[in-house]
């Protein structure tokens, strides 16, 4: 099935309130769903920034107000909304999450250095102080200005869209997994659809970690971290069988790979792209690989979440004479 733009055919829209009961900071198949939906339904929601804030950080380094008190064991990760149970979802199937709307909050923050990571250690910035940029975002949510007067155009997206591992226990939110999570891909903005392998019956989808803008790789470990003022997604099921996420953006197909080794992550992403090229264009594997070397771009999604991410991009129109799979 060749998809240019996925549309919700069911018009039931659910409102998910921002409350303590709807927030969590870990993945677990044992979490109680806060909402149950049917395939094709829409969900509207808001959420704090990744650090559980709804107000900007203080430049003097003092602690800002939090939305809620956090459990040090269960809420050590991103502030996520959910989980959302999808009635028809079964383990082994594919979930399709379309980002229909995303309006970020009126502020953002970015930090660099001040703690030890392999990259910070290599760059010599692991020691104090932590460097913080605080951004003011304009009313029409197109421009961010930091405390030094520097401006960037916004390209908002959700950093975390995912489901829990099938194994029991409490799992951190920071590493991306085959079932999604902290993917941190700047191309998953409004108008894109993310396809995820479903790990558990009911899916148990969680979302959060809005970024107003980020570069590929996210080298400081943060983007412009911002709350979600308003978002709307469509949740559906798809017929394809996947072992790693793929995505459809307004102008390209994407495939993802995650692994502690970046070369391995890139190989997973490339393998998934060859499968996509076969599905979309009917290309034999060696032919797809030859053409991929010409028209597919491999990007570092992020380097900083322990499990590294890579994604392959096939732009629309790159294979203008290729036969298309219309099934």
- pLDDT attached to residue 1: 35
Position 59 scores a pLDDT of 85
pTM to 2 decimal places: 0.94
Query: 310 lies in a domain?
Result: no
Q: Is residue 6 part of a domain?
A: no
Mean pLDDT by 10 residues, the chain (327 residues): 54 94 97 97 97 90 79 94 98 98 98 94 95 97 98 98 97 98 98 98 98 97 98 97 97 98 98 96 96 98 96 94 53
Q: Is residue 145 part of a domain?
A: yes
pLDDT at 4: 45
Query: What pLDDT is recorded for position 6?
Result: 61
Give the DSSP letter of residue 66: P
Does 312 fall in a domain? no
How many domains does the structure of the chain reveal? Answer: 1
Alpha carbon separation from 103 to 12, 136, 212, 219, 229 (Å, rounded):
21, 14, 9, 24, 6
Q: Does a structural domain hold residue 314?
A: no
The domain of 128 spans 17-238
* CATH number of the domain that residue 169 is part of: 2.60.120.580
Q: What is the pLDDT of residue 195?
A: 98
CA distance 268 to 255: 9
Q: What is the pLDDT of residue 153?
A: 98
Of 309, 313, 195, whose CA–CA distance to 243 is shortest? 195
In a domain, 279, yes or no: no
């Amino acid at each position: 099935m060749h998809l240019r733009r996925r549309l919700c055919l069911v018009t039931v829209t659910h409102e998910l309130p921002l409350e303590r009961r709807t927030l969590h900071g870990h993945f677990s198949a044992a979490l109680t769903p806060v909402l149950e939906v049917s395939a094709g339904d829409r969900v509207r929601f808001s959420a704090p920034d990744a650090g559980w804030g709804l107000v900007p950080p203080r430049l003097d380094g003092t602690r800002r107000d939090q939305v809620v008190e956090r459990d040090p064991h269960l809420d050590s990760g991103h502030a996520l909304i959910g989980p959302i149970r999808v009635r028809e979802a079964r383990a082994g199937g594919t979930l399709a999450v379309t980002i229909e709307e995303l309006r970020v909050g009126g502020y953002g923050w970015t930090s660099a250095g001040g703690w030890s990571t392999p990259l910070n250690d290599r760059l010599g910035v692991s020691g104090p102080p932590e460097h913080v940029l605080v951004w003011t975002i304009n009313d029409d949510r197109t421009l961010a200005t930091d405390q030094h007067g520097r401006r960037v155009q916004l390209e908002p997206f959700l950093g975390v869209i995912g489901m829990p591992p099938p194994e029991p226990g409490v799992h951190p939110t920071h590493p991306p997994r085959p079932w999604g999570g902290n993917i941190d891909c700047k191309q998953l903005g409004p108008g894109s659809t993310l396809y995820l392998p479903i790990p558990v019956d009911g899916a148990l989808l969680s979302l959060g970690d809005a970024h107003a803008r980020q570069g590929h790789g996210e080298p400081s470990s943060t983007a412009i971290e911002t709350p979600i003022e308003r978002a709307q997604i469509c949740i559906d099921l798809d017929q394809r069988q996947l072992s790693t996420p793929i995505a459809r953006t307004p102008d390209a197909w994407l495939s993802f790979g995650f692994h502690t080794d970046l070369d391995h992550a890139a190989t997973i992403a490339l393998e998934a792209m060859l499968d996509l090229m076969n599905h979309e264009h009917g290309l034999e594997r060696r032919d797809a690989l030859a053409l991929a070397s010409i028209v597919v771009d491999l990007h570092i999604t992020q380097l900083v979440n322990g499990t590294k991410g890579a994604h392959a991009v096939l732009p629309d129109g790159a294979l203008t004479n290729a036969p298309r799979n219309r099934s």
